A and B are shown apart, each in its own frame.
Chain A
Amino acid sequence: MFSTFDIKHPDYVALIEPDNAFWALVEKNSAINDKFVNAYKNKAEKFSDEMQKLRFGLALNAVYINPTSRCNLNCVYCYIPQEMRKHGDDMSRDALFEALEKLSGYFKQVMPENRLPQIIFHGAEPLLVKEVIFPAIEKFQDRFRFGVQTNGVLLDDEAIEFLTVNGVGIGLSLDAPIKQIADKTRKTWGGDSVFENTIKTIHKLKGYDGYNVITTVTKENMHCLCDMIDFFHELEIPAVMLNMVRCTLPGAREVKPDDYEVAQHFIKALDRTHELYKKTGRKIVVANFANILVSIMAPMARRLMCDISPCGGGRVFFALAPDGGMFPCSEFIGLPDFKGGNLFRDDINTVLQSESFKKVTDRKIEDIKPCDKCAIRHFCGAPCPAEAYEMNGGMNKIGAFCEFYEEQVRYAFRLIADNIVEDYLWSEWDKDTVTLFEASALNRL
Chain B
Amino acid sequence: MKNQNQKQTQKPKIISIRKSCSADGTGLSHYILMDKKAKK
Q: CB within 8 Å of B: which residues of A?
A: 11-12, 22-27, 30, 32, 36, 43, 46-47, 50, 53-54, 58, 61-62, 64, 115-116, 118, 120, 122, 145, 147, 149, 164-165, 167-169, 171, 207-212, 214, 239, 241, 243, 246, 287-288, 297-306, 308, 311-313, 316-317, 329-331, 383-384, 416-417, 426, 430, 432-440, 445
Contacts and interface: CB of A to CB of B under 8 A. Distances in A.
Nearest first, the 7 closest Cβ-Cβ pairs linking A and B are A210-B38, A298-B19, A24-B16, A439-B16, A433-B19, A62-B26, A25-B15
Contacts of A47: 18
Nearest to A243: B29
Given A11-B11, A300-B20, A64 B31 contact: yes
Q: Is the interface of A mostly helix, strand, loop or mixed?
A: mixed
Interface in B1-40: 11-40
Nearest to A301: B21
21 contacts: A11-B11, A27-B13, A50-B23, A54-B23, A64-B30, A115-B24, A149-B30, A169-B31, A169-B32, A169-B33, A212-B32, A243-B29, A298-B20, A301-B21, A302-B23, A303-B27, A330-B30, A331-B28, A432-B22, A434-B19, A435-B19
A297 B19 contact: yes
Contacts of B16: 22-25, 36, 437-439
Given A169-B33, A214-B30, A439 B25 contact: no
B29 A437 contact: no
A60 to B, nearest CB: 9
B18 A312 contact: no
A210 B27 contact: no
Given A171-B32, A214-B30, A433 B11 contact: no
Interface of B: 11-40
A46 B20 CA distance: 10
B30 A32 contact: no
